[in-house]
Amino acid sequence: MKKLIPLLVLIFFLGACDGFDISPQPVATWIIPPSRTPSIVTATPIILTLPFTQTANPGVTVIAPITLTNTEIPTPTSSNTPPPTETPTPIPTATAIQSVAVDILGCNTGLDITHGMGEVTNAFVTLKNVGNVELTSLIATLYALDEGREHPDKIQEIVSIPVGYEVTLKLTVDSTYKAESAIQVEVNSDQGLFPREGVASCRDLGRLTPQPDGLNTPVPLTP
């Protein structure tokens, strides 16, 4: 027993000596080695402004703001847009036409003792308003190639002739006894002077002479 104690002390002493340059570190097999700190992934997105450099990092969502230009901004449309207003087509204004047709129906002759004249020629003339304007203040004058003294009935005045109406007049001139004579009728009004109408020889009307009560009164145009 006495020999065993010194031997154990010697062995313990020898075990305490360090005879190596690098002493191996004892590893406790029951201790887990520490691991690297894990990355913390947050649910909050990272917002970057342009320009930016994106580094690949799995698990991180990068949201870059987008600036819309004027051409990229959608134009709002409305279903309640009123229909376009139609521009009325202007109605063309009719051009004013002043026109009178002079129709010499015929003549007859007679003696005018009342005015101290011999033979006179009576011409029956119809004035027709064939324009689109009412004719006002008309004056019809009869002329004869062999006219003598001026007869008071060589001129007749008409207040007006509406559009589409006609009036028959009796005009008288002092003429040569039993002589054929050319006659002309001139008409003017507030609307102007119209061309003369005439005949080389005024034919005798005979029984077709218009009745006095039908003269100087405007009536609708006869077809």
Give residue-wise pLDDT tens across range 68-81: 555 555 565 656 66
Q: Strands 165-174 and 183-189, how do they pair?
A: unpaired
Mean pLDDT in residue range 193-210? 89
d(CA 127, CA 159): 13
> In the beta sheet, which residues pair with residue 127?
102, 167
d(CA 134, CA 194): 14
Q: Which helix (H) or strand (E) holds 187?
A: strand 183-189
DSSP three-state, residue 216: coil
pLDDT at 144 (0 to 100): 92
Q: Which helix (H) or strand (E) holds 197?
A: strand 197-199
Distances (CA, A) of 15 to 2, 12, 19: 21, 5, 10
pLDDT, one tens digit per residue, over 115-142 is: 888 889 999 999 999 999 999 999 999 9
Check: pTM over 0.75? Answer yes or no: no
pLDDT at 216 (0 to 100): 93
Token pair for residue 27?
């590893």
Under 8 Å between Cβ of 107 and 123:
yes
Under 8 Å between Cβ of 130 and 166:
no
| CATH superfamily to which 100-205 belongs | Immunoglobulins (2.60.40.10)
| CB burial string 90-122: b at 16+ within 10 A, e below | eeeeeeeebebebebbbbbeeebeeeebeebbb
